[in-house]
Chain A
């Protein structure tokens, strides 16, 4: 008994055991995005570290109020960006997140935009507050 007709096993795994859920005190970048139509709200925190002149996402955490698709895309994006160079993480699109989850139902694709948007804005927030 599960939502396995609607969601892929990967999506359900992330809902059952969300990765990197929670809060980062004193984050380097944070963004709260929401889709009022769907009623989903997501907050993404990033901690950035510089190594050999390159910026890496050292740590990331998410908090999400939303449906199964919103929770799983939130959790998935944190696993995809953790430890990655900022420049690479930046390139992640909502399609890539959805693909990594084994696909999302068409009616839920907009939830993946939420996660991609949160990442973009969290990086923006980091850059603005760390201008040299």
Chain B
């Protein structure tokens, strides 16, 4: 049976060229980059080159890139590290109220749980902004929520469950206007973080254009391996490291560098840069075809505005069917997709993203996400369009009339 992988938002395969670039750093150039000998310096050079590639991609300086183990770690460091650093300066000034963070209710758990942790520890107060029916955060809501204590705004670039592209540039502009006033008054600036994990492959991630101070990313969403990520932090952003130890990564992330994986991340991000918008167009065309085909099934709805969404994600709500059952029967046909159903979450809660968008839990239980990749082809989409109606029909026949 042909296998059709349409879960690229969960993870991508490692690209062959990326894998080849990584290989020598396992058993040939295996030195510890902190050592002065030849082996160490070869590894150091490789990390430097990878850092330069990431910096080039983001339009940043090399000193502004820290390698981590994944986007979750980058996010933890960005939020906790910034809040800790700001609290240190606040304590010095004997200010008592906790710093304020603004984020959205549709962020990845990495952001939401980090914010909840900071709240629980009494280290920060957090506002979780609502979204509209398409999953969009309103720029006015960000603006209205800003208080004198606000030090961090954290909004994702592309939503991983439904593909909504958040108005990062607009939020960045708004914050920069407010910061101008704050600077004049000698007040603390507001820092802006974006989780760009789902955006790297297809969207412009130049940090200056976005107006962000902090940006998190993960390698395995764009054909680098799992276990490596990066954090961009604009020069001058206060930061206390969260992993203590040696002086690696500009003293902001201790621990011997994961050299081969860092090399892989560099190679992959260079690949994204060189492929330009060609792949984006091709993926978007296939996604449109998939949407057109699937929407022919009665009582199936597309989540969000597909014209404005990221090119690789299409999420549907299927009435009267449970998501995991669909995944199971799709899997039997060799097709891999994903769902926001409670039964797939392990937490027994329906997707927090869909419920924040105003969908009822029973609608969220019937959600089905397809996420395309650079290898997705016409034939695969045809197959899904052919197979899915039968699966939905079968499951609907099984369900009680309510």
Interface residues of A (CB under 8 A from B): 1-3, 7, 12, 15-16, 18, 21, 32, 36-43, 63-71, 107-108, 110
Q: Are A67 and B324 in contact (CB under 8 A)?
A: yes
Option from A15, A21, A36, A37 in Cβ contact (under 8 Å) with B329: A15
Q: Are B398 and A39 in contact (CB under 8 A)?
A: no
Q: Are B325 and A15 in contact (CB under 8 A)?
A: yes
Stretch at the interface among B22-30, B340-348, B378-386: B340-348
Option from B322, B332, B334 in Cβ contact (under 8 Å) with A16: B332
Given A65-B321, A67-B322, A38-B398 contact (CB < 8 Å):
no
Measured CB to CB, the nearest residue on chain B to A111 is B343
Option from A2, A3, A37 in Cβ contact (under 8 Å) with B348: A37
A34 to B324, CA, bound (A): 16
Min CB distance B99 to A, Å, is: 35
9 nearest CB pairs, A to B? A39-B365, A63-B400, A65-B399, A67-B324, A67-B343, A43-B400, A68-B328, A1-B334, A66-B322
A37 to B362, CA, bound (A): 10
A2 to B327, CA, bound (A): 10
Given the complex, which residues of A lie within 8 Å of B401, measured CB to CB?
63
A43 to B327, CA, bound (A): 23
A118 to B172, CA, bound (A): 54
Q: Are A39 and B350 in contact (CB under 8 A)?
A: yes
Min CB distance A14 to B, Å, is: 11
Min CB distance A75 to B, Å, is: 9
Option from B324, B331, B361, B399 in Cβ contact (under 8 Å) with A1: B331
Query: Is B402 close to A, CB under 8 A?
Result: yes
Min CB distance A31 to B, Å, is: 11
Option from B322, B331, B365, B399 in Cβ contact (under 8 Å) with A3: B331
Q: How many A-B residue pairs have CB under 8 A?
A: 83
A36 to B325, CA, bound (A): 16
Given the complex, which residues of A lie within 8 Å of B92, measured CB to CB?
none
Given the complex, which residues of A lie within 8 Å of B395, measured CB to CB?
65
Q: Are B331 and A39 in contact (CB under 8 A)?
A: no
Given A37-B348, A65-B320, A65-B400, A3-B328 contact (CB < 8 Å):
yes
Given the complex, which residues of B lie within 8 Å of A21, measured CB to CB?
397-398
Q: Are A39 and B322 in contact (CB under 8 A)?
A: yes
Option from B1, B349, B400 in Cβ contact (under 8 Å) with A64: B400
Option from A36, A64, A107 in Cβ contact (under 8 Å) with B361: A36
Chain A CB within 10 Å — which of B3, B321, B325, B349 has the most?
B325
A-B contact pairs, 29 of them (CB 8 A): A1-B331, A1-B332, A2-B331, A2-B332, A3-B328, A7-B328, A15-B325, A15-B328, A16-B332, A18-B398, A32-B400, A36-B361, A38-B342, A38-B343, A38-B348, A39-B341, A39-B343, A41-B400, A43-B400, A65-B321, A65-B399, A66-B343, A67-B324, A67-B325, A68-B324, A68-B325, A69-B343, A70-B322, A71-B398
A40 to B348, CA, bound (A): 11
Q: Are A41 and B399 in contact (CB under 8 A)?
A: yes
Min CB distance B342 to A, Å, is: 5
A32 to B398, CA, bound (A): 14
Given the complex, which residues of B lie within 8 Å of A43, measured CB to CB?
400
Q: Are B399 and A37 in contact (CB under 8 A)?
A: no
Min CB distance A108 to B, Å, is: 8
Given the complex, which residues of B lie within 8 Å of A36, measured CB to CB?
361
